[in-house]
Amino acid sequence: MKKLINHVDTVLVESLDGFAAAHSDIVTLGAARQFVRRRTLKQGKVALISGGGSGHEPLHAGFVGHGMLDAACPGQIFTSPTPDQMLAAAESVDSGAGVLFIVKNYSGDMMNFQMAAEMLERDNATVIINDDVAVENSTYTTGRRGVAGTLLVERIVGAAAELGESLAHLSALGGSVNRCTASMGVALSSCTVPAAGQPTFQIGADEMEMGVGIHGEPGRRRVKMTNAEEIAAELTNNVLKDLSLKRGQEVILLVNGFGGTPLLELYVMVNAVHKILEGVGIRAVRHLTGSYVTSLEMAGCSITVCATDPSMLSLWDSPLHTAALRWGM
């Protein structure tokens, strides 16, 4: 295992300190690094809190800031944060309008966020993300997994929160964005969790894991490596089948790298997905291409399609200022 780290036990702490130092205009760390929060809160706004295991950077801490999250709770690598972290974050960022938790559907995250929600003596609601169409039930999940679609929900609901929408409205909007968002990914290599010291899974020199999860958990099947067009076709067709879109539908397209795949290849995938979408009359009107929801250094990518409308696009386009995504300000 070769990594730019000092010790497996201090990776997360040092990375959070580096993150906070680099983005001190946007964020501060909570006590004992339990959470990353906005430096400046907006009074009267519903507080959006997400979190999950680390190793998926820039998700979630990279999305804390104006127009997206108020706080993110980082667990150890691929490990859920604790209810204590979520409670501390909620106490820190709720300005009285209530707390919306945005939770990826993994058993550990679900259990801990649910405990926090029950213990929290403040108005709160939870949006559960389960955009991964690859498999029903998985290593760490009952039902579908929450993957890169989380970014879309955090962004669109975050934009609406900035406009002063109510907790009930934002909770419903989050559910709605989740339902019109679908993802599927493929891995060409495993990643190595520092504390484990060896690859999460073995994969042959000519194989790929189709439908992989963002912790390297198994997908639909292990298949022979093929070309970008065939990979794009399998991922995109499964995503489109799930969403049942009509011709002429406008979508946001996220081609997401898992951490070890160069941008050069991600744009080859964008090109391939575009041809497929054009072939079925779907119009990608907004694009995001890059490594945003990662699995450490895993090679591979996921395709996320979010069916959109003018009001969602207006939220998407509104001012945003986080460490990882920024526009309009």
Helix (H) or strand (E) holding 250: strand 250-257
| CB 181, min distance to its own copies, A | 18
- 247 is an interface residue for its own copies by CB under 8 A: no
Residues facing 138 on adjacent strands: 141
Which tokens in the block code for residue 241?
């089948």
Scanning 132-140, 145-153, 167-175, 271-279 for contacts with its own copies by CB under 8 A, the matching segment is 271-279
Residues facing 184 on adjacent strands: 303
Three-class DSSP category at 113: helix
- Contact indicator for 100, 47 with CB cutoff of 8 Å: yes
Nearest CA-CA partner of 296 in 83, 35, 12: 12
- 149 is an interface residue for its own copies by CB under 8 A: no
- 317 is an interface residue for its own copies by CB under 8 A: no
* Cβ proximity to its own copies, 161 vs 186, nearer residue: 186
- 69 is an interface residue for its own copies by CB under 8 A: no
- How far is 146 from 133, CA to CA, in rounded Å? 9
- Contact indicator for 59, 52 with CB cutoff of 8 Å: yes
Scanning 18-26, 90-98, 136-144, 236-244 for contacts with its own copies by CB under 8 A, the matching segment is 18-26
Half-sphere exposure of 220 (CA within 13 A, CB side): 13
| CB 325, min distance to its own copies, A | 9
Quick note: the x/- pattern for its own copies over 187-226, rule CB under 8 A, is: -xx---------------xx-x----------------x-
- How far is 305 from 211, CA to CA, in rounded Å? 15
- 301 is an interface residue for its own copies by CB under 8 A: yes
Tell me if residue 56 is catalytic: yes
- 310 is an interface residue for its own copies by CB under 8 A: no
- Contact indicator for 180, 243 with CB cutoff of 8 Å: yes
Nearest CA-CA partner of 69 in 97, 46, 52, 53: 46
The torsion of the CA quartet 295, 61, 252, 101, rounded to 10 degrees, works out to: 110
Scanning 144-152, 169-177, 307-315, 320-328 for contacts with its own copies by CB under 8 A, the matching segment is 320-328
* Cβ proximity to its own copies, 77 vs 133, nearer residue: 77
| CB 213, min distance to its own copies, A | 17
From the candidates 23, 60, 66, 215, give the one annotated as an active-site residue: 215
Mention every residue, 6+ apart, whose C-beta is less than 8 A from residue 311: none
| CB 216, min distance to its own copies, A | 13
From the candidates 56, 274, 287, 321, give the one annotated as an active-site residue: 56
- Contact indicator for 106, 135 with CB cutoff of 8 Å: no
Q: Which residues are the active-site residues?
A: 56, 215
> Rule CB under 8 A: which residues touch its own copies?
2-7, 11-12, 14-19, 21-23, 54-55, 57-58, 62, 77, 188-189, 205-206, 208, 225, 227-229, 231, 253, 255, 259-272, 274, 284, 287, 289, 291, 294, 296-297, 299-301, 326-329
